[in-house]
Amino acid sequence: MKFDAMVEVKLRPGIADPQGATIERALPALGFEEVSGVRVGKAFRFQIDAQDVGAAAEVIDEMCKRLLANPVIEDSLVIELNPIDG
Amino acid sequence: MKFDAMVEVKLRPGIADPQGATIERALPALGFEEVSGVRVGKAFRFQIDAQDVGAAAEVIDEMCKRLLANPVIEDSLVIELNPIDG
């Protein structure tokens, strides 16, 4: 079974996010005073072959720990995991 | 009304993604042969003050076009937009 997956990797709470802070400083000058607390993470999309959703989620979890995220400073989160063709 | 938002900014289909290609080349050596088609994008999280969901979505759309994404090569997508405290 094939799945479409989207995984978010974001900085853990309390870890400084200079990229987010820079965006936030730019917002008022552009007229977006209503936006605050900007944090920037990564969004990975890929296809994965697995027996079922549970097996796919397990592989993704392992892949996040070993390749996509730095568990010391980052959290990973499966945002989408949908079967392709049914 | 305050909302928690998550926006994904991803490369348009057909735009080369060297970062995704590099991750994909590393996968077999780590035992993840079942994963393919890796694409890497950005995930922005922030809070936004707006009258309602529609107004918030409009501001986010404008912010993506003017600051967060490069519309020539990137698509943006609101993944989450949830009211805080009800």
Every domain of chain B and the residues it spans: 2-83
- The CATH number corresponding to A2-83 among 3.40.50.720, 3.40.720.10, 3.30.1280.10, 3.30.420.40 equals 3.30.1280.10
Closest-CA distance of chain A to residue B12, Å? 12
The answer to whether the CB atoms of B67 and A26 lie below 8 A apart is: yes
The answer to whether the CB atoms of A35 and B45 lie below 8 A apart is: no
**pLDDT digit string, tens, across residues B9-68:** 999 999 999 999 999 999 999 999 999 999 999 999 999 999 999 999 999 999 999 999
Q: What are phi and psi of B18, to 5 degrees?
A: -60, -35
* Residue A1: predicted pLDDT: 94
* Residue A66: predicted pLDDT: 93
Q: Smallest Cβ distance to A41: which of B23, B45, B63?
A: B45
* Residue B86: predicted pLDDT: 55
The answer to whether the CB atoms of B48 and A41 lie below 8 A apart is: no
**pLDDT digit string, tens, across residues A15-64:** 999 999 999 999 999 999 999 999 999 999 999 999 999 999 999 999 99
Three-state secondary structure string covering chain B: CEEEEEEEEEECCCCCCHHHHHHHHHCHHHCCCCEEEEEEEEEEEEEEECCCHHHHHHHHHHHHHHHHCCCCCEEEEEEEEEECCC
Which residues in chain A are closer than 8 Å to B28, comparing Cβ atoms? none
Neighbours of B77 (CB within 10 A): 14
